[in-house]
Amino acid sequence: MIVIYSSICALLTAGYLLLVFYLIKGWFSLKRPQIKTVDLNTKVTIMIAARNEAERIHLTIEDILAQDYPKELTEIIIVDDHSTDDTAQIIASYADRGVTLLQLNEAEPLNSYKKKAISKAIAMSTGDLMVATDADCRMGKKWLSTIVGYFEAEQPVMISSPVGYFEEQSLFERLQSLEFSFLIGVGASFIGNKRAWTCNGANLAYRKDIFYNVGGFNGIDELASGDDELLLQKVTEYFPGKIGFLNNRNAIVYTHAKHSLKSFLRQRRRWASKSTRYKDKKVVGFALLIWFFNMSMLLNLILGIFSHSFLDIFLVQFVLKCFIEVIYLFPICNFFNRTKLLRLYLIVAPLHVIYMAYVGLMGPSRKYQWKGRLVK
Q: Clarify whether residues 78 and 124 are in a common domain.
A: yes
Is residue 161 domain-shared with residue 63, that is, in the same domain? yes
Average of per-residue pLDDT across 69-93: 96
* Residue 287, domain extent: 2-27+280-363
Q: Are residues 15 and 134 in the same domain?
A: no
Q: Give the pLDDT confidence score for residue 364 in this predicted structure.
A: 60
Has residue 200 got a pLDDT over 80? yes
Over residues 226-240, the pLDDT tens digits come to: 789 999 999 999 999
Alpha helices (H) in the chain, listed in sequence order: 2-29, 57-65, 87-92, 113-124, 143-154, 171-192, 208-213, 229-238, 261-273, 281-303, 308-335, 345-362
Please give the Cα distance from 40 to 319 (Å, whole number): 49
265 and 358 Cβ atoms separated by less than 8 Å: yes
- Is residue 250, in this structure, part of any structural domain at all? yes
Q: Write down the pLDDT at residue 370.
A: 59
Task: Pick the more confident residue, 90 or 367.
Answer: 90
Residue 374 lies in a domain: no
Record the pTM. 0.92
Domain assignment of residue 343, yes or no:
yes
> How high is the pLDDT of residue 369?
61
Q: What is the pLDDT of residue 266?
A: 83
pLDDT value for 371: 62
Compute the distance between CA of residue 188 and CA of residue 170 in angstroms, rounded to an integer.
27
Residues 160 and 61 in one domain: yes
Residues 229 and 331 in one domain: no
CATH code, domain carrying 186: 3.90.550.10
pLDDT mean across residues, the chain: 91
320 domain-assigned: yes
Judge whether 267 lies within some domain.
Answer: no
d(CA 235, CA 240): 8
How far is the C-alpha of 56 from the C-alpha of 71, rounded, in Å? 23
Give the model's pLDDT for residue 375.
61
Based on the domain organization, do 65 and 20 belong to the same domain? no
Tell me whether residue 376 is in a domain. no
Q: What is the pLDDT of residue 373?
A: 59
Q: How many other CB atoms are there within 10 angstroms of residue 360's CB atom?
A: 20
Phi, psi of 336 (to 5 degrees): -80, 0
Specify if 272 maps to a domain: no
Percent of the chain whose pLDDT exceeds 70: 94
Q: What is the pLDDT of residue 108?
A: 65
Q: Rounded to a whole number, what is the distance in angstroms from the first to the last CA of the chain?
A: 40
Same domain, 72 and 161: yes
**Is residue 29 very low, low, confident or very high in pLDDT (cuts 50, 70, 90)?**
very high
List Cβ neighbours of 87 (8 Å cut-off, separation of 6 or more).
50, 51, 52, 53, 54, 57, 80, 135
Neighbours of 172 (CB within 10 A): 14
Q: Are residues 178 and 315 in the same domain?
A: no
* 327 compared with 220, residue with greater pLDDT: 327
Distance CA(326)–CA(89), nearest Å, equals: 46
Is pLDDT above 60 for 366?
no
3-state secondary structure of 162: coil
Quick one: pLDDT band at residue 367, thresholds 50, 70, 90? low
Amino acid 278: pLDDT:
75
Calpha distance 223→115 (Å, rounded): 9
Are 327 and 199 within one domain?
no
At residue 159, does pLDDT exceed 70? Answer: yes
Instruction: Give the end of a domain, one of 225, 259, 293.
Output: 259
Q: Tens digits of per-residue pLDDT, 170-192? A: 999 999 999 999 999 999 999 99
Answer yes or no: do 114 and 240 share one domain: yes
Maximum Cα interatomic distance, the chain, rounded to a whole number of Å: 72
- pLDDT at position 376 over 70: no
**Span 84-99, average pLDDT:** 96
Residues 70 and 216 in one domain: yes
In a domain, 70, yes or no: yes
Q: In this structure, are 62 and 201 located in the same domain?
A: yes
Q: Comparing 31-40, 41-50, 149-158, which segment has the lowest mean pLDDT? A: 31-40
Q: What is the pLDDT of residues 102-158, one digit of tens each?
A: 999 876 666 678 899 999 999 999 999 999 999 999 999 999 999 999 999 999 999
358 pLDDT higher than 70: yes
pLDDT at 35: 96
Query: What confidence score (pLDDT) does residue 359 get?
Result: 79
Confidence label for 315 from pLDDT (cuts 50, 70 and 90): very high
User: Is the pLDDT assigned to residue 2 strictly greater than 60?
Assistant: yes
Domain count, the chain: 2
3-state SS string over 340-375?
HHHHHHHHHHHHHHHHHHHHHHHCCCCCEEECCEEE
